[in-house]
Chain A
Amino acid sequence: GAGVSQSPSNKVTEKGKDVELRCDPISGHTALYWYRQSLGQGLEFLIYFQGNSAPDKSGLPSDRFSAERTGGSVSTLTIQRTQQEDSAVYLCASSLDGAERTQYFGPGTRLTVL
């Protein structure tokens, strides 16, 4: 079946511009996560959605970052007024809730802020 998809795969933007990154989770997965991975580093948790519950935004690095998940499916991560330190690969993952803990990751969006 279809896995997690993300778009765009690559995004180059200028400092100060806003960007939107999209994630399509696996159908039926109620849990959705956004992570950031800087070059040569491990994953950094950003935000978590679970069903209709309020998202856990505790990992967002600043108020320039926001995310929404419409209809319990597609999610969009928005970065406003991008800075060079925002350059990283942004990964989305989904998983079933309850008994399933395995995360299924998308290919990521490589963001480069010039």
Chain B
Amino acid sequence: LAKTTQPISMDSYEGQEVNITCSHNNIATNDYITWYQQFPSQGPRFIIQGYKTKVTNEVASLFIPADRKSSTLSLPRVSLSDTAVYYCLVGDRRNAGNNRKLIWGLGTSLAVNP
């Protein structure tokens, strides 16, 4: 199982771009990279998923270098409401059952200040 490493915490200010990098040195060929966001007193919420290069949606961008040993979640122009814990997960997405094997670390606690 691919283990991930990400910073425990980050601080930012409203309007700034935030980049959270996750290391996953032993990522396997069939593994995808998924990021979830969790607000206090809520369950995690899917943000973005990718396999290689760059993925962008209405919420964030995900940058994955060619060796796939790391990935960077980019949040453009953060607001106070982006204060949350962000989890980087790596796993085989070929079937839903593989989700149970995902290792949820401590995530990155992002604090957005006014």
Interface residue ranges, A against B (CB under 8 Å): 4, 30-31, 33, 35, 40-45, 48, 50, 56, 59, 91-93, 95-98, 100-108, 110
Question: Could you tell me the distance in whole angstroms from the C-beta of B33 to the nearest C-beta in chain A?
Answer: 12
Q: How far is the CA of A93 from the CA of B97 in the complex (A)?
A: 12
- Give residues in B with beta carbon < 8 Å to A: 32, 34, 41-46, 49, 87, 93-107
Q: Known: A45-B100, A95-B99, A101-B96. Is A107-B43 also a contact (CB below 8 A)?
A: yes
| In the bound complex, CA of A92 to CA of B99 (Å) | 13
A/B pair count, beta carbons within 8 Å: 72
Residues in B whose Cβ lies below 8 Å from that of A43: 44, 104
Pairwise interchain contact A98-B42, C-beta atoms closer than 8 A: no
Complex contact B49–A102 (CB within 8 A): yes
> Of the candidates B43, B98, B107, which one forms a contact with A91 in the assembled complex, judged by CB atoms under 8 Å apart?
B43
Complex Cα distance, B41 from A60, in Å, reads 23
Of the residues A56, A91, A97, A98, contact of B100 by C-beta under 8 Å: A56
A105-B44, A105-B45 known; A31+B105 contact, CB < 8 A: no
Top 9 closest A-B pairs, CB basis? A105-B43, A42-B104, A43-B104, A101-B93, A31-B96, A48-B100, A95-B96, A97-B96, A102-B46
Q: Are B41 and A104 in contact (CB under 8 A)?
A: no
Are the CB atoms of B87 and A59 closer together than 8 Å? no
Contact: B104 with A101, CB < 8 Å? no
A4 to chain B, nearest CB (A): 7
List the A side residues contacting B94 at CB < 8 Å.
101
> Which residues does chain A contribute within 8 Å of B104, judged by CB atoms?
35, 42-44
B49 CB → nearest A CB, Å: 7
Output the least CB separation between B23 and chain A (Å): 16
Q: Which residues of A contact B100 (CB under 8 A)?
A: 33, 45, 48, 56, 59
Residues of chain B lying within 8 A (CB to CB) of residue A110? 41
A87 to chain B, nearest CB (A): 15
